[in-house]
């Protein structure tokens, strides 16, 4: 358990340092995804498999896809083809690929070696989390849903562009 924690923690710190120091936004995004995956392995190692799955699905999946969309939207034009060309060079993806390969090896090792979680780890599964979330924290869950609705409406309002005015009123008024 300890070796998994230290390796994943080292990968998380290294990937975060590379995230902060890269110049190209797509490089930084790839390293940020690696950092989130490393934290997800740490969650699994700490006996929180539900949160580990959510970290992969929501953080590394949904939120990072939003970032990738925005980064891709922001360099449209003649830069886009050059950026696409740069994406295919091995120097772009070899660093994140190596780090993710280490994480994958750790995860496979955790699954193959253990099978059942060891008794010392005291896993807190999704059942207990769900009982707490919709029991004691029911009001918090409702507030989180309202926050997500507010975020949805806010993002829609900010992204809304006015349609060009159609000159109908002048034409109908001679």
Tell me which stretch binds another protein (CB under 8 A): 37-45, 77-85, 98-106, 107-115.
37-45
Q: What is the DSSP string of 86-107?
A: HHTSHHHHHHHHHHHHHHHHHH
Least Cα distance to 34 among 66, 53, 4, 9 occurs for 9
CB under 8 A: which stretch of 46-54, 78-86, 101-109, 163-171 binds another protein? 46-54
Helix (H) or strand (E) holding 21: helix 2-21
The span of 28-36, 80-88, 95-103, 164-172 binding another protein (CB under 8 A) equals 28-36
Reading phi first (left if > 0) and then psi (alpha if -120 to 50, else beta), residue 173 is in beta
Taking the complex as a whole, the smallest distance from the CB of residue 84 to another protein amounts, in Å, to 19
Q: 39 in helix, strand or coil?
A: helix
Task: Lay out the site mask for another protein across 91-120 (x = CB under 8 A, - = otherwise).
Answer: -----------------------------x
Q: Does 56 bind another protein (CB under 8 A)?
A: no
Q: Label residues 73-89 b or e (16+ Cβ within 10 Å = b).
A: eeeeeeeeeebeeeeee
Assess 17 for contact with another protein (CB under 8 A).
Answer: yes
Count of residues touching another protein (by CB under 8 A)? 60
**Length of the chain, in residues:** 174
Minimum Å gap between C-beta 74 and another protein is 6
Cα angle 5, 35, 134; round to 5: 80
Distance CA 131, CA 128 (A): 5
CB 147 to another protein: min, Å: 5
Q: Which residues bind another protein (CB under 8 A)?
A: 1-2, 5-6, 9, 12-13, 16-17, 19-20, 25, 28-29, 32, 35-36, 39, 42-43, 46-48, 50-51, 54-55, 58-59, 62-63, 66-67, 69-71, 73-74, 120-122, 124, 128-129, 131-133, 137, 140, 144-145, 147-148, 150-152, 154-155, 158-159
């Amino acid at each position: 358990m300890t070796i998994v924690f230290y390796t994943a923690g080292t990968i998380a710190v290294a990937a975060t340092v590379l995230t902060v120091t890269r110049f190209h936004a797509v490089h930084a995004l790839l390293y940020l995804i690696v950092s989130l995956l490393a934290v997800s392995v740490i969650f699994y190692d700490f006996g929180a498999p539900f949160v580990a799955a959510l970290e992969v699905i929501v953080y590394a999946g949904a939120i990072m896809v939003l970032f990738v969309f925005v980064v891709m939207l922001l360099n449209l034009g003649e830069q886009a083809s050059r950026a696409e060309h740069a994406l295919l060079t091995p120097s772009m993806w070899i660093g994140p690929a190596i780090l993710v390969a280490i994480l994958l090896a750790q995860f496979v090792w955790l699954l193959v070696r253990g099978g059942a979680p060891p008794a010392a780890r005291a896993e807190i599964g999704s059942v207990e989390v769900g009982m707490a979330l919709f029991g004691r924290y029911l009001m918090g869950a409702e507030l989180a849903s309202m926050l997500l609705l507010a975020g949805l409406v806010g993002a829609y309002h900010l992204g809304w562009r006015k349609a060009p005015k159609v000159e109908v009123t002048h034409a109908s008024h001679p």
